[in-house]
A = this chain, B = another copy of it.
Amino acid sequence: MVVMRAIVSRTDPPPPLGEGVAWSGGCAYPSRREDAVKILVLGGDGYLGWPTAMHLSAAGHVIGVADNFLRRQMVMEVGSGSLTPVQTLHERVRAWRDLSGTELDLFVGNLVDAAFVEDIFKSFRPDAVIHYAEQPSAPYSMIDRKHAVGTTRNNVEGTLNVLYALRDIAPETHLVKLGTMGEYGTPDIDIEEGYIEIAHKGRKDTLPFPKLPGSMYHLSKVHDSHNLHFACRIWGLRATDLNQGVVYGIRTEETELDERLCTRFDYDEVFGTVLNRFCVQAVVGHPLTVYGKGGQTRGFLNIIDTLQCVRLAVEHPAERGEFRVFNQFTEQFSVRDLATVVARTAEDLGINVVTEHVPDPRIEAEEHHYHATHTKLLELGLRPHLLTGEVVGHLIQTVQRHKDRILRDPIMPKTKWDPRS
């Protein structure tokens, strides 16, 4: 375990690192709000974790970030890289201090190491934990047995360690855990937010919504959801599971402040999401690769809305014993819809684009019913930022600005859900 205070500002007292725990000077920050919350962002070096940490810090909360840089390592493993030049977490924490005058506590280690988790909880004493620290790629989990088992172990055991640390060290702390809309799969009925009332043989009960996860990654998230539900039912913990759709965009109020604060942008077949990939393909003159018929429909949201949602969840915590599930997205699109939007926007910018249907490397329905409820975050105050032509235009322009960094090899799908197919 490496625990460190990222930067010790000149006026801070020296941290007692000799004790093997991080010094947390949170309460001493002069800018702390009256109702400020101490928030630990697990996975604080990631695509969403880093912007979340800055956003909540800017909102006056006291922030700690933990990461083991697994995402950077995995992206290197598959031969890809972020389109945007991402600084190290230490450098970003330093830049954020320079710009905001606010310190973030930094913890480097692996959640699968229970001692590391316990040490953070004991030293930082969070009021809320935002848990992004999981292997987030479906294709990565489907590479082979080793990657499937590795994803399961990393995600499920890491989360179990967090649940036990909450139980034993911080039972009042609110866990905000990132789940995924992909846990539900594509059932032939409308998807509800975590639970569904079932009438059956003259009786009724409200039960967890049945799950049809479509990859080893999605399975690991379903396992997490069951474990969280148990911890709330049996130990009385409080948790919010944010079943998030596909996030796009890299522009937030805080990332715009300085180039050093930007977040990662992945576009490869393993870690990139479909909208990013289409924008990169448009810029490099590659046909937009629609998997199969392109009728696969999913929920999407702007990164700005991810930050809003996570903040709403933290500032309106679940009750003791409550396992709350919110579906976190603002719009539904099919893959075909997205290809059309990107092609149209690119043409407005003078880029000629063609669309190509390639065999779907995944095993999934290419035409299906999809209607998912997503009202709970709206009721808490979410104000959606929708996918306009302007938003897509900005994404394409961002890609153009970094065009010389694009790697072509990792774009086309190679990871098949069934290696015999």
- The chain A residues found within 8 Å of chain B, CB to CB, are 114, 145-146, 148-149, 152-153, 156-157, 160-161, 164, 168, 187-190, 192, 196, 198-201, 203-205, 207-214, 216, 219, 222-223, 226-227, 229-230, 233-236, 363, 369, 417-418
Q: How far is the CB of A372 from chain B (nearest CB, A)?
A: 12
Contact A207 B187 (CB under 8 A): yes
Chain B residues with CB under 8 A of A199: 189, 199
Knowing A207-B212, A226-B219, A227-B219 are in contact, say whether A190-B201 is a contact too (CB < 8 A). Answer: yes
Knowing A164-B148, A223-B226 are in contact, say whether A189-B203 is a contact too (CB < 8 A). Answer: yes
Chain B residues with CB under 8 A of A226: 211, 213, 219, 222-223
Q: How far is the CB of A224 from chain B (nearest CB, A)?
A: 10
User: What is the CA–CA distance of A236 and B208 in the complex, to the nearest angstrom?
Assistant: 26
Q: How far is the CB of A148 from chain B (nearest CB, A)?
A: 6
Contact of A234 among B203, B209, B235, B418 (CB under 8 A): B418
User: What is the CA–CA distance of A149 and B163 in the complex, to the nearest angstrom?
Assistant: 11
Q: How far is the CB of A3 from chain B (nearest CB, A)?
A: 20
Chain B residues with CB under 8 A of A234: 214, 363, 417-418
Q: Can you list 9 A-B pairs with a CB-CB distance of less than 8 A?
A: A145-B164, A148-B160, A188-B205, A189-B200, A192-B200, A199-B199, A207-B212, A219-B226, A236-B418
Contact B200 A190 (CB under 8 A): yes
Contact A157 B161 (CB under 8 A): no
- Which residue of chain B has the shortest Cβ distance to A195 in the bound complex? B210
Q: How far is the CB of A243 from chain B (nearest CB, A)?
A: 16
Chain B residues with CB under 8 A of A187: 205, 207
